[in-house]
Copies of this chain bind each other. A is one copy, B any other.
Amino acid sequence: MNVKLIISILGIIVFFIGVAMLLAIPFSIYYSDGSLFSLLGSSIFCIVVGLLTWFLLKTPAIEVNTREAFAIVTFAWFAMSVFGSIPFIVSGKIPSFTDAFFETVSGFTTTGASILTNIETLPKGLLFWRSMTQWLGGMGIILLSLAILPILGVGGMQLFKAESPGPTVDKIKPRIGETAKVLWQVYVLLTFVQTLLLILGGMNLFDALAHSFTTMATGGFSTKNLSIAHYNSAYIDIVITVFMFIAGANFALHYRALKGDIREYFKNNEFVFYLSIVLISIFISTLLLTISHNYNSFSTAIRYAAFQIVSIITTTGYSTADYEIWPYAIQFILLILMFIGGCAGSTGGGIKNMRILILLKNGNAELRKLIHPKAIVPVRYNDKTVPQDIINNILAFFVLFVTTFVVATIIMTTLGMDIISAMGAVIACLSNIGPGLGSVGPVDNYSHIHLAGKWILSFCMIIGRLELFTALVIFTKVYWKI
């Protein structure tokens, strides 16, 4: 394994993190919020460290092998979070390294879990940087899930080998470059459109941009203590609900739609499944909210149900209502949606609709086989037969996901959390959602969590974001054998 190569690439990433910080400075200056020095200093530090690492260690251009790719991807998120947390620490706004690291991991993994008890006291420059960590993380994830993971053979993402836009050459470099370019154009375009729409709804540029960043990334950091409930505007709720839904769908499909092929959405099994789950969940929740008289009118019930359902399944984590006072059935449905998550190739986290769909199809195929033991019943996805090794791969993902969830929850309960809160916190972090249930519900935050718990949850956010395999493979014996 070429450790120099790995570290030099991490150097480039740290350099770009430093450059990105500069973008928060205009807001810092405009609002004269006192965060200028912290941001500028941190930025320069990152740029210098990044460049030095790159220049001192850079190796002649060589191919990255599979093993190195796993290390680069995993440590990239770790390095981004360590260096990205510097402005929070040096400004004294989040003095504890654990807290600052947690908040920044939560940003780059687009989770949105926060240890801040009063978000609005943060200087605008830092708030902007906080939202930007999510936007950058979202960009990284789209690229990772549509261009890198399919090649690495992670958790069934091979199904998307042919789906990534750009020339499908089988060499990593040109393909990643092309794919990245077109997908980021879509991502930037959608962010721009949403920002405009939010400004039309009365938000100022700062808040509109910050919220568009965290919507498109399905991140869920808000600049307001009350999250989107702060605006109490049906228009803003609707705009954000729609854009969260878009961000939770496969960006390769958006790319095709922008090229004029809207029908692709409805030919795509995963998108149809995702849409169906969202609609059915909204329907049931609206019904239950109306019956239980949580809201006076059907239209109010549907507005709040739709926002919360879409926010959770897309793993965004904004809130406009405290679903913990809603009927238990809705809370349990939300808990299940937390596991399902967004679509593969979106910025959303969780198990992903594609995997759930294939697992259900396999279950159905096995039931048929009981009656016709000799029949060959293939599992079909997007009109193709899913190869057996991909089904196995998805099975392994599912088992690994559940196992990680169980182990992390056991640890959190050992630290004294009750079962519902522990399950909620772990799944909210593992699926990169943000708010969970119990003491980490939509109107709570993560500040009260035990120090060790914050590290466990940070770890969950990273491995969840990297589709488990990518990060966990590094802990296997076979990874370290030559």
Using a CB–CB cutoff of 8 Å, the interface residues on chain A facing chain B are 66-67, 70, 152-154, 288, 327-329, 331-333, 335-336, 359-360, 362-373, 388, 391-393, 395-400, 403, 406, 409-410, 413-414, 416-420, 422-423, 437, 469, 472-473, 476, 478-479
A473 CA to B363 CA, complexed, in Å: 11
Chain B residues near A391: list those with CB within 8 A: 392, 395
Chain B residues near A336: list those with CB within 8 A: 406, 410
User: 20 additional contacts, CB 8 Å, given A331-B419, A366-B469?
Assistant: A66-B370, A153-B369, A327-B413, A327-B414, A328-B416, A328-B417, A328-B418, A328-B422, A329-B413, A329-B414, A332-B413, A335-B419, A336-B406, A362-B395, A363-B403, A366-B397, A368-B478, A388-B392, A391-B392, A419-B437
Chain B residues near A476: list those with CB within 8 A: 364, 367-368, 371
Q: Taking the full assembly, how many copies of this chain does it contain?
A: 2
> Which 7 residue pairs are nearest across A and B when measured between Cβ atoms?
A366-B396, A329-B413, A328-B413, A329-B414, A363-B396, A395-B395, A363-B399
The reply to whether A370 and B153 contact each other, CB–CB distance below 8 Å, is yes
Chain B residues near A360: list those with CB within 8 A: 399, 403
Among residues of B, the one whose C-beta sits closest to the C-beta of A394 is B395
Q: List 9 A-B contacts (CB under 8 A).
A: A288-B414, A335-B419, A359-B399, A360-B403, A362-B392, A363-B400, A363-B403, A367-B396, A398-B398
A418 CA to B420 CA, complexed, in Å: 11
Chain B residues near A420: list those with CB within 8 A: 419-420
Among residues of B, the one whose C-beta sits closest to the C-beta of A331 is B419
The reply to whether B66 and A373 contact each other, CB–CB distance below 8 Å, is yes
Known: A152-B370, A419-B420, A420-B419. A365 touches B396 (CB 8 A): yes
Among residues of B, the one whose C-beta sits closest to the C-beta of A417 is B328
A419 CA to B419 CA, complexed, in Å: 11
Chain B residues near A67: list those with CB within 8 A: 371
The reply to whether A154 and B370 contact each other, CB–CB distance below 8 Å, is yes
A397 CA to B366 CA, complexed, in Å: 9
Among residues of B, the one whose C-beta sits closest to the C-beta of A362 is B396
A25 CA to B49 CA, complexed, in Å: 86
Among residues of B, the one whose C-beta sits closest to the C-beta of A424 is B419
Chain B residues near A416: list those with CB within 8 A: 328
- A96 to chain B minimum Cβ distance, whole angstroms, is 25
